[in-house]
Structure formats: C-alpha cells, structure tokens
Amino acid sequence: MKVSARLKNYLVQALAQSMPVELMEQLAARVLPDYDLRRQSGFPPSIPIPQRDAALQVVSDVISQGQLRSFAEVLIDVDRNGIMGRTVSISQLPKIITEIENLGLVFKEEYGLFMEGIPALRSRSWGVLREGQVYEFSFLRMDIADSTRLVRKYPKPEVLKAYGDLHSQFAGIVERREGRVWHWEGDGGIAAFYFGAKNVQATLAGMEMLLELFMYNLFRRPLSGDLHLRLAVHTGSCPYLNNFEQVRSDTLRRLEQIESQFTSSDSLMISPGVYSDMGTKLESFFQPVQISRRHFLYKYQLGWE
C-alpha cells in the first residue's frame, strides 16, 4: 500500500492528540507482536518519550512492516468500542478512512475491516488473509457435468464459449456475496466464503447458480444441448496459501467427495454443518439424502410446483 504524506500525518495526529504514549505502544503491539517503543525509538528508560515523537515512531514502524491497514482497523475498533472499559475518541478518524478508501479499499462496517473495493484489485485473500494461517471457511464447488462428452460432441469454440460464460456467472455470483473464486479449471471451480454468515452466503450462491443455469440453457446457450452442473457446499478449517495447488485440506477433500460422489446433475448438496445454519426458511428448500447408515447430506434442486 502506497502511503501518502497526508495519510501519515493524519495518523500521527490521531495518536498524538488522542492517547498517552503507553496506549500507542499497546495498540501497535496488536499488529506488531512484541513491539517495544523504547527499543524502536532509542529513548533511554530515564527520559519520557514525547507524544509526537512516539506517534511518529509507531506510525513509521506500522507502515514499514506493511501493517497500516490493520492498524487503522485497530484504531476504528478502539474508537467505537473503547479499550479495557475505557472510552477513547480517535481524532482524524474520518479523514484516515477516506484516505485509505482513496487507495482502492472500502471499509466494511459489518466486519470492521478494509477490503478491496475495486473489482480489478480483488484478490483471493480479500487483502486480509495471511499466508500459511488456518481459517474457517465455507467452500462452494461447481463442476460441469459430462464435460468429456461435451468436448467430444461440440466444436471447441462453442464449448469454450459456454465454459467461459459459466465461469463469468459463477465469479459474479460469488463476489456479490463477498466470496472469492479460489480455483478454476475450465469445467469447474471452487469459491471460498469467509465473512459474516458464510455458510448461508455460499449456499445462496449455489442456489443462484442453478437458477442462472436454467435461464442460460433457456435463452443463451451456444450449444444445441443443455449444460448441467453439480454444486456442493462444505465448511471447515483450511490454510490460506497464495498457490492453491499447494493447499492440503481435509475440508477441501470432503467437499470434492460430496460433489463427485453424492451430487446429481443440476442440484446443490450441502453438508450437515452448513445445513445447521440455514434457518427455517432456507431449510424448507432442502431434502435430506441418506448416504450411509448414520450420515445425511441435504439436497436442493430446481423443480416445478
């Protein structure tokens, strides 16, 4: 993130005008582990650190370590929720938020985070996930059924056009629900959901994709025959890696099993952990499917009344 002199100045003012030096150090330690302001500034223990000097040092260290956005999120949280029962009013905060949003980010009130606001800058990490860290996700997997038969039956340009259309629809639906497409192979892909009601968002994205497929087959398909999809949603822990091919996850393995072994064409299958978050209104759209003596999945499929 390229930090302007104006943004840096607002941050320094915010710290110097809003809190004592000790609190500046505490807040910096939230994003810079084991942060020691005296070590960083060079002030000996016998000399108090002036507030503005402390603020300049904290802001410089936060910026140099690439943690400005996270530190700004800490300031917003403290301004709204206080710290250890104490109210803290952070000056210059609206200006700080505006300057960061001018860099292409947008502050999401419901999550308390800055996220990528410009579509062209959106990344698989939402700009907040850290390499190698394990997170709880909800995953949506989509696969185009009978892809081998389609490739053999239809001209390659028509097949590529159809696959490209579905990819665009899938990405658009996922991103409108704060998800990210993590992987795409031409005939299918995987999307991750991390924020808010992630199980519900992933499931609604899958349901919407089936509806879009119906309309696509009805009015827009480039092939003479219909396209068919299998979709599955599963939730669980998974490490975040920039290189998806290196990800090793039981959650993703289970997701693939649900989609490939238990999901029929033109349907969405969700696991019990996902189904438990649906609520009474969404639950009514799903039918239980017994896959073993003690295990069930839950199926959604378009149908006529």
Return the domain boundaries, the chain: 5-120, 126-301
Directed axis angle between helix 156-176 and helix 198-219, to 10°?
150
pLDDT value, residue 194 = 96
The pLDDT tens digits of the residues spanning 146-185 come to 988 999 999 999 999 999 999 999 999 999 999 999 999 9
* Residue whose C-alpha is closest to residue 241's, from 128, 126, 124: 124
Phi, psi (deg, nearest 5) at residue 20: -75, 165
The pLDDT tens digits of the residues spanning 28-67 come to 999 999 999 999 999 999 999 999 999 999 999 999 999 9
pTM of the model: 0.82
Q: How many other CB atoms are there within 10 angstroms of residue 131's CB atom?
A: 10
| Torsion sign (Cα): 110, 205, 297, 137 | negative
Confidence of residue 305 (pLDDT cuts 50, 70, 90): low
The strand pairing partners of 140, in sequence order, are 191, 233
User: Which range (37-46, 91-100, 114-123, 143-152) has the least confidence?
Assistant: 114-123
Distance in angstroms between the alpha carbons of the first and the last residue of the chain? 53
The hierarchical CATH code for the domain 126-301 is 3.30.70.1230
Of 186 and 76, more confident: 76
Mean pLDDT across the chain, nearest whole number? 94
The strand pairing partners of 69, in sequence order, are none
* 138 pLDDT above the threshold of 60: yes
Three-state SS sequence of the chain: CCCCHHHHHHHHHHHHHHCCHHHHHHHHHHHCCCCCHHHHHCCCCCCCCCHHHHHHHHHHHHHHCCCHHHHHHHHHHHHHHCECCECCCCCCHHHHHHHHHCCCEEEECCCCEEEECCHHHCCCCCCCCCCCCEEEEEEEEEEECCHHHHHHHCCHHHHHHHHHHHHHHHHHHHHHCCCEEEEECCCEEEEEECCCCHHHHHHHHHHHHHHHHHHHHHHCCCCCCCCCEEEEEEEEEEECCCCHHHCCCHHHHHHHHHHHHHCCCCEEEECHHHHCCCHHHHHCCCEEEECCCCCEEEEEECCCC
Confidence of residue 22 (pLDDT cuts 50, 70, 90): very high
What is the rounded CA–CA span in Å between residue 210 and residue 214?
A: 6
